[in-house]
């Protein structure tokens, strides 16, 4: 007797539909894991090479760039990254294109290994990472990405180099309803957002690859004993002397803040969390902590700066209670490797509040 037919007559209409759905599910499952046919490229968790994906005859196994992809704590600012698109080009041609979502595990940190063609061991490599909000999966074309970061570099023959691609909250292009988080700039195709500003994506001085890059990311801030100095300034760092007078500024939502800037040495440039608190000496009045996950930027003398932290002070009481009185501002910074630094500066709050034109708030 021959084999029974796959679709018996009683199910001649249901079976074709079932087979179609099964085929669609198989294709969708494969696509959610990225393009497994990427020539000369492989991805996975940090520090893990894929033995099932050896370098092809057309690629060089000892010349590679590892894109180390990580991000600030976007969830702390109300952003929920649900999908990640990663594209790598070699001399303008797509070498890898992957899409990752939450169903396949944590999105960060992750690696994409890009191997150099044997006939072009110093080729130019372009890496682009686009992060989408969790809600964008239903209509991605109708919603802007949360953040996009580009990096342009080149292979170094015989070397394994790390291209650190770090997504920053200050570069978001998907502002929350009603504000509450900084909106990043819209950059041209020749630039990318770094530290809240459009800058060149070129990085040709890549460090050697290390498997612990996620815990110890590349940094221009030094490796000695951690140091932290409290300064001031909204757009540029300015010194802040002990006992100096500072002025409260009325914010767009009628809160009152001061602008704090910081200079740091020997903590990680990226992945360092900075926490600001304050207290009024002799009164028991304490300002609740505000945490900032923002990356620091390279500065002079091997230091790094974090400029323009809006530190709201009137949380739970009136700003008038601070006017004309001393205030102790404390800053604690800690990086992913556990290194930390603290600093305190006593200031005096000015008698009058600075109100910018066009702002009108109830007394």
44, 177: one domain: yes
162, 309: one domain: no
Assigned domain for 337 exists: yes
Separation of alpha carbons 178 and 187, rounded Å:
23
Beta-strand pair 249-250/285-292? unpaired
Assigned domain for 219 exists: no
Q: What is the dihedral of CA 32, 33, 38, 40, to 10 degrees?
A: 160
Using the structure block, give the residue that is written with the tokens 């989408």. Answer: 132
Separation of alpha carbons 84 and 69, rounded Å:
10
* pLDDT tier for residue 23 given thresholds of 50, 70 and 90: very low
Supply the pLDDT for residue 356.
82
146, 186: one domain: yes
Assigned domain for 190 exists: yes
Assigned domain for 125 exists: yes
135, 188: one domain: yes
- Read off the CATH number of the domain in which 65 is found: 2.60.40
Assigned domain for 116 exists: yes
pLDDT per residue as tens digits for the range 320-337: 999 999 999 999 999 999
- Read off the CATH number of the domain in which 271 is found: 2.60.40.2550
pLDDT per residue as tens digits for the range 60-119: 779 999 999 999 999 988 889 999 999 999 999 999 999 999 888 899 999 999 999 999
Average pLDDT over residues 24-32: 36
Q: Pick from 199, 216, 247: which residue ends a domain?
A: 199
* Structural domain boundaries, residue 313: 227-349
Assigned domain for 80 exists: yes
Separation of alpha carbons 304 and 311, rounded Å:
20
Using the structure block, give the residue that is written with the tokens 């009164």. Answer: 283
What total number of domains does the chain contain?
Answer: 2
pLDDT higher than 50, residue 32: no
Supply the pLDDT for residue 136.
67
């Amino acid at each position: 007797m021959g084999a029974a037919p796959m679709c018996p007559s009683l199910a001649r209409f249901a079976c074709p539909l079932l087979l179609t759905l099964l085929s669609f599910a198989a294709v969708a499952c494969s696509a959610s894991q990225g393009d497994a046919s990427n020539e000369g490229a492989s991805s996975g968790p940090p520090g893990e090479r894929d033995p099932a994906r050896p370098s092809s005859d057309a690629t060089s196994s000892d010349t590679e760039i590892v894109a180390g992809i990580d991000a600030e704590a976007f969830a702390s600012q109300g952003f929920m990254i649900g999908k990640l698109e990663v594209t790598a080009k070699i001399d303008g041609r797509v070498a890898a294109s992957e899409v990752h979502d939450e169903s396949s595990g944590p999105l960060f940190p992750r690696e994409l290994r890009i191997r150099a063609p044997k006939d072009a061991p110093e080729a130019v490599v372009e890496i682009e990472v686009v992060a989408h909000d969790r809600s964008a999966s239903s209509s991605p074309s109708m919603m802007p990405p949360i953040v996009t970061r580009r990096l342009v570099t080149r292979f170094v023959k015989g070397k394994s180099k790390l291209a650190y691609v770090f997504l920053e909250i200050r570069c978001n292009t998907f502002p929350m309803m009603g504000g509450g988080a900084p909106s990043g700039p819209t950059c041209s195709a020749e630039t990318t957002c770094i530290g809240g500003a459009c800058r060149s994506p070129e990085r040709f001085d890549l460090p050697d690859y290390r498997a612990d890059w996620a815990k110890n990311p590349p940094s221009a801030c030094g490796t000695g004993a951690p140091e932290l100095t409290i300064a001031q300034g909204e757009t540029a760092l300015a010194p802040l002397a002990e006992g100096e007078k500072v002025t409260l500024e009325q914010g767009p939502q009628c809160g009152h803040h001061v602008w704090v800037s910081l200079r740091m040495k020997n903590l990680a440039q990226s992945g360092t969390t900075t926490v600001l608190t304050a207290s009024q000496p002799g009164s028991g009045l304490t300002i609740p902590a505000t945490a900032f996950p923002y990356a620091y930027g390279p500065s002079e003398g091997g230091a790094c700066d974090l400029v323009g932290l809006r530190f709201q002070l009137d949380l739970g009481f009136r700003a008038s209670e601070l006017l004309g009185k001393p205030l102790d501002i404390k800053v604690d910074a800690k990086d992913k490797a556990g290194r930390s630094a603290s600093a305190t500066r006593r200031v005096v709050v000015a008698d009058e509040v600075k109100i910018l034109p066009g702002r009108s708030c109830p007394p």
